[in-house]
């Protein structure tokens, strides 16, 4: 696991940090060739979200998100975006490449591992597919299990560090 990935994990919601470490380790173990996983995005501020939402609407470029500030699971530290780092130097978002020659695309090896841990993949969305995106599907709180919809998360209280109180 590279330093950048570890730094991004440290900013995720405390309730998912250890699990994400386990997922990344499992992905890296499964990928026996030149590719290793890197988290390219984790926790995202509301301000960062608004800037992304503006792309293709207010600023030039192709739309990159349909989520306004507060509507992205990234805003709560419960989502990650990934890429594959090839030979530790080159970022790849190639979902078809099989760098370890095991007859399964490396990207989909990671998709299966995230799914085993109960994370939704943006590639399964019916509209606006987001192939690098994974988000925690359900959270354990003091009141039981909740689904991680932004509408539910937006209503929850936060601690002094800005993290949701579960």
Number of compact structural domains in the chain: 1
Alpha carbon distance 24, 60 (integer Å): 34
| Domain-located, residue 85 | yes
HEC-encoded secondary structure of 12-53:
CCHHHHHHHHHHHHHHHHHCCCCEEEEEEECCCCHHHHHHHH
Q: What domain range is 104 assigned to?
A: 3-137
Structural tokens at position 83: 């890429």
Residue 157 maps to a domain = no
67: which 2 tokens? 């989520």
b/e code 4-18 from CB counts within 10 Å (16+ = b): ebeebbeebbebbee
Share of the chain above pLDDT 70, in %: 100
| CATH classification at residue 75 | 3.30.1380.10
Confidence at residue 38, expressed as pLDDT on a 0 to 100 scale: 98
- What does 117-152 look like in DSSP terms, one character per residue? TTEEEGGG-SSS--TTEEEE-EEEETTEEEE--HHH
pLDDT, tens digit (0-9, with 9 covering 90-100), for 11-66: 999 999 999 999 999 999 999 999 999 999 999 999 999 999 999 999 999 998 99
Give the whole-number percent of the chain exceeding pLDDT 90: 92
CB contact at 8 A, 16 and 40: no
Q: How far apart are CA 94 and CA 116, in angstroms?
A: 22
Asked if residue 64 belongs to a domain, the reply is yes
CA distance linking residue 56 with residue 62, whole number of Å: 5
């Amino acid at each position: 696991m590279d330093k950048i990935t570890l730094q991004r994990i440290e900013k995720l919601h405390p309730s998912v940090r250890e699990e994400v470490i386990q997922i990344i380790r499992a992905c890296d173990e499964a990928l026996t060739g030149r590719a290793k996983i890197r988290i390219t995005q984790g926790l995202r501020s509301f301000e960062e979200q608004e800037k992304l939402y503006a792309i293709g609407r207010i600023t030039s470029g192709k739309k990159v998100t349909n989520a306004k500030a507060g509507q992205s699971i990234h805003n709560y530290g419960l989502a990650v975006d990934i890429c594959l780092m090839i030979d530790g130097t080159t970022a790849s978002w190639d979902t078809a490449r099989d760098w370890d020659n095991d007859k399964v695309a490396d990207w989909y090896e990671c998709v299966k591992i995230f799914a085993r841990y109960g994370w939704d993949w943006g590639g399964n969305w019916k509209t606006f597919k987001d192939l690098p995106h994974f988000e925690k599907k359900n959270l354990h709180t003091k009141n039981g299990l909740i689904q991680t919809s932004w509408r539910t998360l937006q209503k929850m209280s936060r601690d002094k560090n800005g993290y949701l109180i579960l």
